[in-house]
Amino acid sequence: MLTLTFLGVGNAFAKRNFQSNVLLEAWSGSSRQQGEPEDTLLIDFGATGPQALHRLKDQPGFEYLDHGGVVDYRKIRNIFVTHLHSDHIGGLEELAFMNTFIHAQAGVGHRPLLISSSEILTDLWEHSLQGGLGVLHGRQAELADYFVVHPLEAGLTAPGRFVWSGGYELQPFRTDHVRLARKYDWPSLGLLIRDCVLGESVFFSGDTGFDFEAYRGMMTASRLCFHEVHLGNEDLSVHTSLKDLRTLPAEIRGKTFLYHYSDAWDLGRYEVVDREFAGFARPFHRYVLFD
């Protein structure tokens, strides 16, 4: 069984919800029978991630994340990074320092697998994390001091795949999020999550402008979709408006949960979301992707 839980469903500026980061849990049996999954993977860990995980560990069924009242970061075995905005990577410094100094055993820190395209991993260190993590015990440190770095082999149109926990595959695809001069020239990724045994998939958009032509095949074939949304009237090319999402075919809207939304989600004017889509994704709810 593979489950997906949003640590938060908010956009970068949301205050009533945590930012849109996700915990995947792989279970040999069932989340209802086991106290702890066999394997875990975070999709992004932004600035509000530590606070969200701190809250999640107190929810029924997530007690395994608790270690004496603090988050046990050793339970986070893998982290996939979609792109370098702070709402997706801003919690990694805390996670790395906690693993290095608080959860260290016999002087050896816990190092989760850190997965992304090689260009994102290089920029993650050189332009973001190095500022805080660059010195360790009186020496220069590097990304590999804190993580087992797992760059996905770059392909022509997308980075390579990652086979995870035996039977699941993460299949990243480029998203049209931020452009410097042209489409795809600033790296950002979405994910197709596949159960190799069942042959089924779930679509996770990552941050993206509306690009259904690129995603049509994946969304049509997937049993569930999670798509980002920008609520509000601003025409933001870097995110996807509700107006654009409402043009999706009805059969796709019916299996698509919306996430990455602003604090205005529960104003009456967005009631359409629950009628025309699978609904707004809920934080701390364990969605079963594959049973």
> Using CB under 5 A as the criterion, which residues of the chain lie in contact with Zn ion when the complex forms?
85, 207
Q: Minimum CB separation from Zn ion for residue 85, in Å? A: 4
The string of DSSP letters for 215-248 reads HHHHHHH-SEEEEE-B-SS---TTS-BHHHHTTS
For Zn ion, the closer CB: 11 or 222: 11
For Zn ion, the closer CB: 207 or 211: 207
Q: Minimum CB separation from Zn ion for residue 178, in Å? A: 7
For Zn ion, the closer CB: 85 or 194: 85
Token pair recorded at residue 120? 């994102």
Q: In what order do the strands lie in the sheet with 200-204?
A: 162-164, 168-174, 189-195, 200-204, 224-228, 256-259, 279-280
What region does 145 belong to: left with phi over 0, alpha with psi -120 to 50, or beta? alpha
- Residue spans of alpha helices (H) in the chain: 49-56, 86-89, 92-97, 118-123, 130-133, 212-221, 242-245, 250-253, 272-276
Q: Minimum CB separation from Zn ion for residue 188, in Å? A: 7
For Zn ion, the closer CB: 2 or 115: 115
For Zn ion, the closer CB: 57 or 85: 85
Q: Please tell me the total number of residues recorded for the chain in this structure.
A: 291
Q: Minimum CB separation from Zn ion for residue 195, in Å? A: 27
DSSP-based three-state secondary structure for 286: strand
Q: Minimum CB separation from Zn ion for residue 92, in Å? A: 15
